[in-house]
Chains A and B, each alone.
Chain A
Amino acid sequence: MHLFRLARLTLPGLAVGFIAGVLAGGLAAFVGQPAGWALVSALTLGVPLGLLGAGYTMLLINGKIRLGGFAPAAAYWLIGFPLARMLHEVLTRLVLTGQPGLPPDPLGFLAYQGIVSAGFAIGFLWLHERVAPRYWQRLAAHDPDARDVYLRYAEHARAMFEAAERRKAARGRKPSARTSVR
């Protein structure tokens, strides 16, 4: 798949991961250093989280994980989030000190990040599910893959909509249902 098309298709996960990483991670890691250093720190977290986010979206598009499921998202980030944070620590250290190095107690570090990943997974999924269906709807006219995944969402939404319409119609037949109750 062409790189541009891939990026366009997986933009929801890419954007949520990247923006979350750059905003929160970059600012939190801004250790009183010049702006250039802070930028490096932001990118070393934003880029891995963005790429991992795109990976999650890709799996969703390919039908490897179900729409909106929490368990697959939590499992994905249980591995992905600690890796991204480890990369962030190592690269930030490398840029700041010129020496590559792991954080003290790497196993404890990974275990801690693994637990926090559950929270990240909830927030990621929450935002992803808000953004992605609408985005794919816009893309559906040009991209068959986007159309396919959007149709999966739409199929469900249509069932819900039709049920709502049926109920509305039922209310229409009995606009003042209470009159027949008395």
Chain B
Amino acid sequence: MVDSHNPPSVGLSSGSGTRGATYEGVGEERVWRAGGLEPMPIRPLPEAPPSIHLLGPTVFLVALGVGMGESYMWPRLVLVFGPEIRWLFLIGVTLQAVVMLEMARYAMATGESIFSGAARVFKPLMWFFFVTAIMVYIWPGHLSAGASAFEEITGIPWVVTACVALILVGILFSLASVIYDLLENVLAILIGVLVVGTAIIASIVGSWADLGSTLGGMFAFGYMPSEMFSSTWFPIVVGSIAFAGPSGMQQMWYTLHLRDSGAGMGAHVPKIRGLRSAKEEEQMPSRGFMFDTGDPKEMAKWRGWRKWVTFDAFLLFWGITMLVTISFTVLAQSASRENPNVKTLIEGGDRDAALRAMSDAFAAAGGPVLGGVFFGFIALIGLNATLGLFDSFSRGQADMTYNHIPGAKRFRLSHLYAGFLWGVITFGIMILLFGPADGPSGILDILAFLSSFAMGAYCVTLLLVNNRMLPKPIRPKWWSNAIIGFGAVFYLGMLFYSLFRFGVVLD
């Protein structure tokens, strides 16, 4: 423990950090002062866990990230432009893996969410994300894909399934004692089944040639067919790159899951509880903590955490996202061989018709059960995304409300979480029942609309937060900054290019 008698050896005096952030001794405690918010007291950094069975938060990113982009949009692009187009997917997912590492840097070093980091830099930046989250994520579009697939299997109308699922999700999260633990376990089993099942099905349905062309296409750097630069395809291609892996604000929410899982300095912050056991919730601190970056032992532990999260980012996140997309691309290729009509439908862009045609193709090749299995996997992906999104949205909004809206601390964080959760559920049911529900695809498009803008904005936020709010020894390396900077230019640049050149937003 660092105290006034044994202070951190680096940057004790004011000005030892850089503009906006310094180590200081205040009263009897040493603190890290960053931005305009409350300073962070110095606390010891816990030891990093050594092996895979203690991994956790990546489950959320995988659950959120492996969605329609992986199971539908990229297979579609491969059928339209050929496997060579996949190099763009490689770029997109790798960029997201680096973003994940940088999001984790701030969250693990401070136990704060990236939203609080943004508020330390410039409070309106955080409010931008607060409003964007509401605009983008209150729509129940993500439910529709999985529920439609469930309708194909069972015949139950998708609106009924979606409404029941919404209520069940609310009850599940309200009854859970510690929400994170429950959700991590449920998602882990679902994703485990998805990964094992997809691998086996791809091993049976696919072929060396399919896999070879899919993998080879990932390294066809620079391949850009001229048809790509049309008002029809450009927004879809660039939107699909943005959709490669977690899109929109999902990476920002990952910092909340990291904190709740006790990663790094998140260990000093209590967990969010379900409504039923909200009274047991410990007092939430109103700011995070910092460790002594001048102590070599603390820095060794920090390197342990960085290794842990790098393993998470590249093996689990990058690996599983790649695996699922490659498997679904192989499935789409074999389906279009079985039934040329599939290719036409997929190219045409009617997702539901295309998925149905793919299922039919598998049914023709392998019996009706196989067609059902295909829809089962789509439903599973939808369920994963739904569980993850509802929890993440409520967690993010509750975090910002609790920490930054005056008077909100009268409530417990768990109550705010429950409020946002049931709010989004109620709104979702209203929209599903009475909204302009002209079919599932219509709703999903709204999600895609602001995705790129939020992503460009969080890249800029990351650069500011990690380079100005953290002590120098744990700031990102230049190449990492360069990649995140590229991300900001790419997401925002492509969005505005598409808007001005073709008059359409990304799809």
Contacts and interface: CB of A to CB of B under 8 A. Distances in A.
Per DSSP, chain B at the interface is helix
B203 A127 contact: no
B200 A112 contact: no
A67 interface: yes
A123 interface: yes
A127 B193 contact: yes
B131 interface: no
A108 B46 CA distance: 48
Nearest to A105: B208
B429 to A, nearest CB: 32
Nearest to A116: B203
A31 B366 contact: yes
Interface stretch (B239-247, B315-323, B497-505): B315-323
A23 interface: yes
Interface residues of B, number: 63
Nearest to A124: B196
B191 A25 contact: no
B21 interface: no
A177 B285 contact: yes
B211 A127 contact: no
B267 interface: yes
Contacts of A16: 196
Contacts of A101: none
B227 interface: no
A66 B43 CA distance: 32
Contacts of A29: 204, 366
Interface string A108-127: 11011101111110111111
Interface string B169-209: 00000000000000001001101111111111111111110
A167 to B, nearest CB: 6
A69 B39 CA distance: 39
B41 interface: yes
Interface string B108-119: 000000000000
A137 to B, nearest CB: 13
B327 to A, nearest CB: 7
Given A122-B315, A130-B192, A177 B199 contact: no
B28 interface: yes
Interface residues of A, number: 60
Interface in B204-261: 204-208, 211, 215
Given A119-B202, A167-B268, A181-B31, A23 B367 contact: no
B307 to A, nearest CB: 13
A96 interface: no
Contacts of B189: 127, 130
Nearest to A92: B204
Contact of A129 (B53, B201, B283, B287): B53
B370 interface: yes
Interface string B1-18: 100000000000000000
Nearest to A125: B52
Contacts of A68: 51-54
A130 B200 contact: no
Contacts of A177: 29, 41, 285
Nearest to A133: B53
Interface string A149-164: 0000100100110011
B295 interface: no
Interface string B309-351: 0000001100110010001000000000000000000000000
Interface string A170-182: 1100011110111
A10 B52 CA distance: 19
Interface of A: 16, 20-21, 23-25, 27-33, 38, 45, 66-70, 81, 85, 105, 108-109, 111-113, 115-120, 122-127, 129-130, 133, 153, 156, 159-160, 163-164, 167-168, 170-171, 175-178, 180-182
Given A27-B372, A28-B205, A116-B211, 14 more contacts: A16-B196, A27-B370, A68-B53, A69-B51, A85-B204, A109-B208, A119-B323, A126-B195, A156-B49, A163-B46, A168-B282, A181-B27, A181-B41, A182-B26
23 contacts: A20-B193, A24-B197, A27-B369, A27-B373, A28-B370, A31-B365, A67-B53, A68-B54, A69-B51, A108-B208, A115-B211, A119-B198, A119-B199, A120-B200, A122-B316, A123-B195, A126-B52, A126-B191, A153-B53, A164-B267, A171-B270, A180-B41, A181-B27
